[in-house]
Structure 1
């Protein structure tokens, strides 16, 4: 039974790695799409179409939606919508690199939110891996001068980090344990709620929507299919079989993939800071996944040989 659970956990973590790759590609897609479509409408389009496609595929699962499914999905959607909104508005008042670093605070926040919500205290390996991952993302995004000052955009971005952490913890809370809600249903309803709220916000705050140009068509399709539909579906299902601390650390790899894909498709410069950041994040994942058991076992074998 334990081996079976371990296999499911490893499969879930591997699936989250794919999600991180897809979300990393989303950085490139969003950058292209923003040249033609406003932020709220991008969010509305990607989540509404993703929820419609999944709704058609999993129609049978949606026929028996319960009140608690709607309630849980709405709560999850509020965290997700709030995260995207504060991040987008905050970007108007701060730099993209600085925001990427501040958004990454969600990796550090997750273990403590889990502790608060589910009373599941993080161990030293989780805390250490989390801090390492946070440091790694810092190397990916900060400039050489290390100049940081708090402004309105930075405050909004920190709020965004809390909301993204809350989203991961909320998904974990409702998809696991005694709640045990269907992660597919949660995914579809969550996307629908985010799409509807974003559309209403777009109509109110971004009334001059002129449609999707040909240049934005492929990026929008990528965002709908990969970054949203598959990304959040896989995340919600995978979180049923792994720990939220693992989720945060693995998903922070989207920064690594985003940096690499930006170099390939946007001709961004890959600096030594990025290389160091990638290495640190991979070390953090190894610590989180293995708890350094391979080092412990090696040490025990050596100790046994000495005793013999």
Structure 2
């Protein structure tokens, strides 16, 4: 008779868990840094520094980049930048908790987009896991964020969720068919340069008073970004976009954990939400086997 196998994580999935933990741990640092400089300056410096670090490490490999590698990196980089831009624009008029709720909509979007664009329908357990993770994200964001007016900020944030889902799909589409280091370098450089070029358009000035501290923080987080993006591109060669999304959904769990170390306290619904997200990741890996 059929039975359920015990869920296990492969090394690629474990790598995504680790980089998601690092990802969540950067939020307290980012929150502090944004009190010193504007978001476009910070994001631009962070991504450009990450690209330069990869360029130094893989300079020989980058010489072998093909036009297809560069094209893939530019596509992913533009999509990543657009997601950050829309989310940042929305945060000007939307609270961080409401933004978190709207951005979380990328979780149920990825399985649908994977089905439409990659012709890879998720399994039944993937759907259940995605629903469980999405419910957990709603609990962490707070049910009150589903109410209220829906203005330009909310619209921009909702669009960013679609774009972030598209980024995960784009990585899954190009993964395995391009040179890993070349694509990662190009996407980081593209996103960083676009962010810096947008500074005059957004009316954002260079933070002269806190320039040294801002650059130092951007450098540290840039090194983390290089590692995170390189790992994402490598792991998604064998991890489906839906599965990767469920792992990425644990980012606010780690963010809450590290936030607690700095003095934040999560309410009970948020703790239940964190448990739902972890359960969603595990549920998605349950498979029926025959004895």
TM-score (norm 1): 0.87
**Number of the residue aligned with 1:195:** 192
Equivalent residue pairs, number: 283
**Number of the residue aligned with 1:246:** 243
2:207 aligned with 1:204: no
- Give 1:71 deviation, angstroms: 1.2
C-alpha spacing 1:9/1:241, structure 2 compared with 1 (3 Å) = farther
**Number of the residue aligned with 1:32:** 32
- Give 1:207 deviation, angstroms: 4.4
> Which ranges of structure 2 fall in alignment gaps of 5 or more residues?
1-7
Give the Cα–Cα distance (whole angstroms) in 1 for the partners of residues 115 and 43 of structure 2.
Answer: 31
Hey, which bits of structure 1, 4+ residues long, moved more than 6 A? none
**Number of the residue aligned with 1:109:** 109
Q: Which has the higher helix share?
A: 1
Q: Deviations over 1:56-103 (max 9, x none)?
A: 101111001211111111111111001000000101111110110110
- Write out aligned runs for 1:131-280 (5 A): 131-143=131-143, 147-176=147-176, 180-211=177-208, 212-213=210-211, 215-216=213-214, 219-226=217-224, 228-265=225-262, 267-280=263-276
**SS of residue in 2 equivalent to 1:94:** coil
Give the Cα–Cα distance (whole angstroms) in 1 for the partners of residues 86 and 144 of structure 2.
Answer: 27
- Give 1:147 deviation, angstroms: 3.1
**Number of the residue aligned with 2:83:** 83
- Give 1:146 deviation, angstroms: 5.6
- Give 1:289 deviation, angstroms: 2.1
**SS of residue in 2 equivalent to 1:259:** helix
**Number of the residue aligned with 1:57:** 57
Give the Cα–Cα distance (whole angstroms) in 2 for the partners of residues 163 and 145 of structure 1.
Answer: 21
Q: Deviations over 1:2-57 (max 9, x none)?
A: xxxxxx97111100011111110121111011001101111110000000010110
**SS of residue in 2 equivalent to 1:289:** coil
TM-score (norm 2): 0.92
C-alpha spacing 1:151/1:52, structure 2 compared with 1 (3 Å) = same
The answer as to whether partners of 2:126 and 2:285 remain within 8 angstroms in 1 is no
The answer as to whether partners of 2:40 and 2:196 remain within 8 angstroms in 1 is yes
Give the Cα–Cα distance (whole angstroms) in 2 for the partners of residues 44 and 146 of structure 1.
Answer: 32
> Which ranges of structure 1 fall in alignment gaps of 5 or more residues?
1-7, 301-308
The structure with the larger Rg is 1
- Give 1:240 deviation, angstroms: 0.7
**SS of residue in 2 equivalent to 1:240:** coil
**Number of the residue aligned with 2:5:** none
Q: Deviations over 1:210-248 (max 9, x none)?
A: 34445545542332111x111111111111121111110
The answer as to whether partners of 1:40 and 1:206 remain within 8 angstroms in 2 is no
